[in-house]
Amino acid sequence: MLLLFEDGSEFLIDLEKDKKMHTHLGVIDLNEVLEKETGDIIRTSSGKKGYILKPRLIDEIMNMKRRTQIVYPKDSSFIVMMLDVKEGDRVIDTGVGSGAMCAVLARAAGSSGKVFAYERREEFAKLAQSNLTKWGLVERVTIKVRDISEGFDEKDVDALFLDVPDPWNYLDRCWEALKGGGRFATVCPTTNQVQETLKRLYELPFVKVEVWESLFRPYKPVPERLRPVDRMVAHTTYMIFATKVCRKEEI
């Protein structure tokens, strides 16, 4: 559950019987949490008031153990919409990293869909497996520990998401795995990577090539003094999109 206190502290916890949690706001008796409903009030030993909430996938992602840079929810939600992932889709995700994007794709593909998740490094594959299990999405995902320069096992996938430092080296492999009209997306933090990726993209039968970046600005939610916060995220990544066509020239 997610416990939210009035000072804004949030605790994302696994509920266990007869356990107590020690915090700067006092001790929280997890039995009390177990007995109550989502939305109810609890009190710490020092009388601080908290609310019992269910974590969203976005909360899980932002709070998970991670050892890699992740695709931020502001970007991953847009990518999934641009990739048009929907119930029943077959999707490739690579490299998997901590599994954040994989979870977002798996949620969109639904229980009848499938995400084929390629990750070169054993330890990240395990971390992603563990995160996806915790989030109840692991059944929709097949994780393969594999270097993608060998290519993908799947053909005719509906969409493919590529997250590696050198996307330009794998675009032909991505093209091979996609179905005609299939959607491709990749992310690059630097403009140099975007340039290299675009160069290679135009050599392959891809159309509808687009590059985007997003800025999300939070406001101080005070009705009498409504204004943006002082500082915000300036940059996460550039997003590149393309659509596979069968060929560019007629035979």
Binding residue positions for S-adenosyl-L-methionine: 119, 147, 163
Is there binding between residue 53 and a copy of itself (CB under 8 A)?
yes
CB of 220 to a copy of itself, least distance (A): 8
Residue with tokens 């795995």: 177
CB of 48 to a copy of itself, least distance (A): 13
Say if residues 105 and 80 touch (Cβ distance below 8 Å): yes
Q: Calculate the alpha carbon distances from 51 to 34, 154, 237 in Å.
A: 13, 45, 34
Q: Which is nearer to a copy of itself, 17 or 231 (CB)?
A: 231
Is there binding between residue 246 and a copy of itself (CB under 8 A)?
yes
Within positions 9 to 38, which residues make up the interface with a copy of itself, using CB under 8 A? 37-38
- At residue 92, the 3 state secondary structure works out as strand
Within positions 212 to 231, which residues make up the interface with a copy of itself, using CB under 8 A? 212-231
Within positions 79 to 118, which residues make up the interface with a copy of itself, using CB under 8 A? 80-82, 84, 86-87, 104, 107-108, 110-111
CB of 64 to a copy of itself, least distance (A): 15
CA distance 59 to 2: 9
- At residue 249, the 3 state secondary structure works out as coil
